[in-house]
Each structure stands twice: as structure tokens, then as C-alpha cells.
């Protein structure tokens, strides 16, 4: 049941490692992730705020204690 998520996470990790390694080997041809974020933030400062909102929203979504019984369609809560 969790297999697709595990495979997807492994692919993301491999993708990140491959392109970061490639960027460190040839910095004149490709940016690292942190350099890309810096460049985007330099040209469009609002992007840093939006990325922060995305990370914050995901943190709240995944890690904030949520009780689905409090929000029910039958009105108990």
C-alpha cells in the first residue's frame, strides 16, 4: 500500500543526488538547487515568500495533530 510513495521518494532522492552532483562537477553549465533558489529570489523576491508558505503549509498538513472526528458531516464536534 505504501510502495508507490516509497518508490516516488527514492526517485526524488536519486534525482536530487544526480543533478546536484552534476552541478558541482560543472558549475559553469548547471546550478545547484540552492543557487537556483538564490537566483529566483534575486529576480522575483516574492518567490521566497511563496516557497516558505508552501513549506509551512506542508509542515502544518503533515505534522500538526489533527483529529478527523472533530470535523464530521453528522455534526458531532
Which of 56, 55, 16 shows the shortest CA–CA distance to 36?
16
pLDDT tens figures, 52-76: 999 999 998 888 776 666 665 555 5
Query: pLDDT at position 63, please?
Result: 81
Query: pLDDT at position 68, please?
Result: 63
Query: pLDDT at position 67, please?
Result: 65
Which of 62, 63, 68, 64 shows the shortest CA–CA distance to 77?
68
Which helix (H) or strand (E) segment holds residue 2: the answer is none
Query: pLDDT at position 18, please?
Result: 97
Place 77 in a pLDDT band, splitting at 50, 70 and 90: very low
Cell 553549465 belongs to: 29
Query: pLDDT at position 74, please?
Result: 58
| 2-6, 7-11, 41-45, 63-67: range with lowest mean pLDDT | 63-67
Question: How close are the terminal C-alpha atoms of the chain, in Å?
Answer: 31
Amino acid at each position: 500500500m505504501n510502495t508507490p510513495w516509497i518508490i516516488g521518494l527514492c526517485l526524488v532522492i536519486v534525482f536530487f543526488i544526480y543533478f546536484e552532483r552534476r552541478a558541482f562537477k560543472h558549475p559553469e553549465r548547471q546550478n545547484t538547487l540552492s543557487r537556483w533558489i538564490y537566483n529566483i529570489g534575486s529576480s522575483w523576491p516574492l518567490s521566497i515568500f511563496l516557497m516558505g508558505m508552501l513549506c509551512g503549509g506542508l509542515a502544518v498538513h503533515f505534522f500538526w495533530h489533527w483529529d478527523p472526528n472533530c470535523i464530521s458531516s453528522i455534526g458531532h464536534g
